[in-house]
Amino acid sequence: MKKQHQPFTFSLDTLLYPLLFVLLIWLVFAIEIRFGLRFNKYGVYPQTLKGLQGILFSPFIHSGIKHLYSNTVPLFVLSSVLFYFYRPIAFKVVIYGILLSGFITWVIGRPSYHIGASGLIYVLFSFNFFKGIFARHYKLIALSLVVVFIYGSMFMYAFPIDEQISWEGHTAGLIAGLVFALIFRKEIVKVKRYKWEEPNYNEEEDEFLKYFDESGNFIELPPENEWFSETSEISSEISDINYIFKENKD
């Protein structure tokens, strides 16, 4: 039987998977420091065959401790939000987001190595924002507003305002997040609908409303249950029976 995922429920994996990803990028950086290595050459290098390997490796490579730290907090926060609100599709968004944003970076990027998890961060930011809007669910719309309030300044870094920043990777992440928000727009949390919200709802057949008049005043209806009526008749007959006490002379 397929496991059912309950929406908006906290579990260990809500924080576990984001934490593992963060630890992995810190582990890669620690290996670079410990053994004096540089993994920059494994980043995305646009329009080259060798540069395609960076689509897989670049999110785990960072240029320094400042670069790594600046990506750690938003990566953990946004991925945790993803696993909490969109758990059934969270892995698809992360994996496909890395691939699509990396490929777009490879297509539009400048001839340089593009590294860092910021591309994925922009995927998560874009997806969480647009998905909440498309869902039209009050909790998810509120989430979109919170995300844009906290990380709204990220939009400016999707433009070439700093030569040291891969704006191409950021733009690619925004595009990828929007694409997946559109692809998965039907996979949303269903809004709970009450009986009276159903299109085929008939007010006259509602058993509850029968106990109220047009002004909303409570009225007591006579019992219509056949079993109750028969029971009442039997009770009435029993009450008419007179019992006589006769002393036993034997």
pLDDT per residue as tens digits for the range 222-242: 555 554 455 555 555 545 555
- CA 64 to CA 116: how far, in whole Å? 10
Task: Give Cβ neighbours of residue 2 (< 8 Å, ≥ 6 apart).
Answer: none
Rg of the chain over CA atoms, in angstroms?
Answer: 32
Which residues, listed in sequence order, are joined to residue 212 by a DSSP beta bridge?
218
**In the predicted model, what is the mean pLDDT of the chain?**
82
Confidence of residue 153 (pLDDT cuts 50, 70, 90): confident
Model confidence at 73: pLDDT above 50: yes
pLDDT recorded at residue 89: 93
Q: What are phi and psi of 58, to 5 degrees?
A: -60, -35
Task: Give Cβ neighbours of residue 161 (< 8 Å, ≥ 6 apart).
Answer: 167
pLDDT tens for 102-151 read 999 999 999 999 999 999 999 999 999 999 888 877 778 888 888 888 88
pLDDT recorded at residue 227: 47
Alpha carbon 240 to its chain's center: 68
pLDDT recorded at residue 235: 55
DSSP, residue by residue, the chain: -PPPPPTT---THHHHHHHHHHHHHHHHHHHHHHHT---GGGSB-TT-SGGGGHHHHGGG--SSHHHHHHHHHHHHHHHHHHHHHSGGGHHHHHHHHHHHHHHHHHHH--SS-B-STHHHHHHHHHHHHHHHHHHT-HHHHHHHHHHHHHHGGGGGGGSSS-TTS-HHHHHHHHHHHHHHHHHTTTS-PPPP--GGGSTT--GGG-TTGGGB-TTS-B-PPPP--HHHHHHHHHHHHHHTPPP-------
Residue 25, CB-side half-sphere exposure with 13 Å CA sphere: 29
Q: Which residue is it, tokens 């002004």?
A: 215
3-state secondary structure 64-81: CHHHHHHHHHHHHHHHHH
pLDDT recorded at residue 245: 52
pLDDT tens for 154-210 read 889 999 988 889 999 999 999 999 999 999 987 655 555 555 556 666 666 666 666
pLDDT tens for 25-70 read 999 999 999 999 999 999 999 999 999 999 999 999 999 999 999 9
Instruction: Classify the phi-psi angles of 149: left when phi > 0, otherwise alpha if psi is within -120 to 50, otherwise beta.
Output: alpha
Q: What tokens were used for 191? A: 């809004």
